Amino acid sequence: MTSFPKPTLIPVNGVELEVFEAGTGTPVVLCHGWPEHAYSWRHQLPALAAAGHHVIAPNQRGYGNSSRPSEVTAYDIAHLTGDLIALLDHYGYADATFVGHDWGAYVVWALARLHPARVNKVINLSLPYPDRAAMPSIDFMESVLGGDNYFVHFNRHPGVADALFEANTAHFLRNLYRTPASAIPLIDLATAELQPGEPVLTEPDLAVLVDAFTSSGFTGGINWYRNFDRNWDLLQHADPVVHQSTLMIYGDRDTIPKSPNLEDFVPGVDVISLDCGHWIQEERPDETTQAITKWLAQED
């Protein structure tokens, strides 16, 4: 198990974020996905610090020991991006490089659009720029993917998945953190037999996540999904183009497809693909770290 710095609770934007940091120099903010934790960046944090960066890895609201507001709307994209801007303000930074994986990438894409002056560079893993759908997201997803899709299920059946995951936390995470991803519905991973595929996490690393979600529960993170329609409204007037220099890192075996029109929305993008599934920085930690540090060195 890789050592990780001790956290600090930092008040921002009406909540407290549990923040792990290391190094000095130009700021780099690492934004985890679902159901993850700042610990998912344990391989990149020390390497980026050694490369001359002040690396800031928050547990975003709803995760770890960060605040978990009870209102679903407290997890919309305005709040999530507002937390990161307030974090910059706390440290006195005008801007930073933001790195996101999975849901963290969604937040970083939105941050670059809603607060472009505060985002120096963008590095996103797994989730390419999300094109704006012609209708609110959950309706669209249900029409295309059906009611069993977890995006739809989380919204149509509030509380059901939360309770199921919390009653089977270790088994659910052990089933989820595998590559290639299971073909069965995500909801079923909480109770299904152990799925085929290679484990992504060692047992000690998995234990860190199990402990974190046993303490925090899953509702905070799932509430991010319950704001997709609200986010669709909140982003409608933002400039759709991401103007910052951007690095997009794909996993060739990820279940999330690569974008066919990424350069239309992110004209300054460089693209790298790694031989892995969805959990890119976990499955290919050295390659991910090298890709990020090399790209940042070239861009600085």
Q: Which residues are catalytic?
A: 102, 278
Which of 126, 136, 99 is CA-nearest to residue 226?
136
DSSP code per residue over 253-281: T-SSPPPTTHHHH-TTEEEEEESS-S-HH
DSSP code per residue over 166-219: HHTHHHHHHHHSEESPPSS-GGGGGTSPPPSSEESS-HHHHHHHHHHHHHH-SH
C-alpha–C-alpha distance, residues 23 and 13, integer Å = 24
Residues 6+ apart with CB under 8 A from 48: 23, 28, 55, 289, 292, 293, 296
23 SS3 class: coil
C-alpha–C-alpha distance, residues 85 and 119, integer Å = 9
223 SS3 class: helix
C-alpha–C-alpha distance, residues 258 and 177, integer Å = 20
In this structure, are residues 25 and 226 in contact, taking their beta carbons and an 8 Å threshold?
no
C-alpha–C-alpha distance, residues 177 and 262, integer Å = 27
299 SS3 class: helix
Residue owning tokens 């941050």: 111
Instruction: Give buried/exposed letters for 133-146 (b at 16+ CB in 10 A, else e).
Output: eeeebbbbbbeeee
